[in-house]
């Protein structure tokens, strides 16, 4: 029998499932390394990252070496620990430049900070986290900030409340039960109380976090909508708790709601009926 002919051209067969899985694993690990850096902990060593994301130190070291070559991370000269590098700005820059909500919101956020004296920020939702894409810092020496790129997944965070208030109740339950969104003392009673709380925030026009995620901070947030009536962002005011009484909380909420409404209008948006 004549043996089958073997082509001398390049092998065009699809990669094996094992190869696909390995490639996916490398990407997931690399993303996990980047996500380990936060505004609260911008400097991390290899051992810290490895223990945090459950990878071997040698794996983390190789990933960081590649990122360093591409300027996605850089070493601190004194501690030799790593921080995110300027290459991250080059990656995020085109997205931020094209983010219409950010461009439209900027002058409104400036007005809001001048009106309240507090920091104002624009947050967007990635499905399980509220993320900061713009910020105007308070003029006060003592202030709370929401740095660009900061991510929040605490259920009691005011901006997270705003986004979850527009989600289907079953999806909110799923996010909370899975731990994707964290809620202290989670049980069925707490879950139902939380669903009621975020429904109330919709009727009021702003959500409140009165020292519940940080004893020193108060946050109020309001939704921004597009022309379909879908939420596309939220306006956030974070402030030191000592400067916000229960009496002044409503005025912050009203200012936040007004700013969110102005951004909605400038986007050609409308609140859902």
Q: State pLDDT tens for residues 32-67.
A: 999 898 877 889 999 999 999 999 999 999 999 999
For residue 88, the model assigns a pLDDT of 81
Q: What is the CA radius of gyration of the chain?
A: 23
Cα–Cα distance, 43 to 244 (Å, whole number): 32
In 3D space, the residue among 161, 166, 92, 165 whose CA is nearest the CA of residue 133 turns out to be 92
Percent of the chain with pLDDT over 90: 67
Do 122 and 142 contact (CB within 8 A), yes or no?
no
Cα–Cα distance, 78 to 126 (Å, whole number): 35
pTM of the model: 0.70
Mean pLDDT of the chain: 87
- The residues facing 131 across adjacent strands are 124, 151
User: CB neighbours (10 Å) of residue 266?
Assistant: 16
Backbone torsions φ then ψ of 265, nearest 5 degrees: -65, -45
DSSP state letters, 145-208: ---TT-EE-BTTSHHHHHHHTTS-HHHHHHHHHHTSSB-TT-SHHHHHHHHHHHHHHHHHTSEE
Cα–Cα distance, 40 to 83 (Å, whole number): 12
For residue 26, the model assigns a pLDDT of 87
Provide the token pair at 150.
Answer: 């900061």
For residue 2, the model assigns a pLDDT of 42
Cα–Cα distance, 221 to 122 (Å, whole number): 9
Query: What is the three-class DSSP state of 224?
Result: strand
Cα–Cα distance, 187 to 268 (Å, whole number): 40
- Residue 94: pLDDT band (50, 70, 90) is low
Do 259 and 222 contact (CB within 8 A), yes or no?
yes
DSSP label at 134? Answer: E
Per-residue pLDDT tens over the stretch 121-179: 999 998 899 999 999 999 999 998 888 888 899 999 999 999 999 999 999 999 999 99
- Residue 3: pLDDT band (50, 70, 90) is very low
Backbone torsions φ then ψ of 80, nearest 5 degrees: 65, 15
């Amino acid at each position: 029998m004549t043996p089958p002919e073997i082509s001398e051209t390049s092998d065009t067969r699809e990669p094996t499932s094992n190869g696909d899985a390995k490639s996916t694993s490398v990407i997931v690990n690399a993303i996990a390394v980047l996500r380990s850096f936060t505004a609260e902990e911008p400097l991390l060593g290899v051992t810290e990252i490895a223990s945090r994301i459950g990878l071997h130190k040698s794996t983390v070291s190789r990933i960081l070496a590649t990122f360093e070559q591409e300027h996605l991370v850089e070493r601190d000269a004194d501690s030799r620990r790593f921080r995110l590098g300027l290459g991250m700005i080059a990656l995020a820059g085109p997205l931020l430049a094209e983010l219409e909500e950010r461009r439209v919101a900027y002058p409104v956020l400036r007005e809001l900070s001048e009106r309240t004296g507090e920091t104002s920020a624009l947050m967007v939702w990635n499905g399980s986290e509220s993320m900061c894409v713009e910020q105007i810092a308070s003029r006060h020496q003592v202030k709370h900030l929401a740095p660009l790129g900061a991510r929040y997944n605490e259920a009691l965070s005011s901006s997270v409340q705003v986004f979850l208030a527009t989600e289907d109740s079953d999806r909110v339950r799923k996010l909370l039960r899975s731990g994707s969104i964290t809620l202290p003392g989670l049980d069925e009673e707490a879950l139902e109380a939380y669903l009621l709380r975020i429904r109330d925030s919709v009727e009021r026009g702003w959500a409140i976090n009165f020292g519940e995620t940080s004893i020193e901070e108060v946050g109020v947030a309001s939704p921004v909508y597009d022309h379909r009536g879908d939420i596309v962002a939220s306006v956030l005011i974070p402030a030191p708790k000592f400067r916000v009484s229960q009496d002044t909380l409503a005025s912050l909420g009203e200012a936040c709601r007004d700013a969110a409404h102005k951004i909605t209008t400038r986007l050609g948006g409308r609140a859902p009926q």
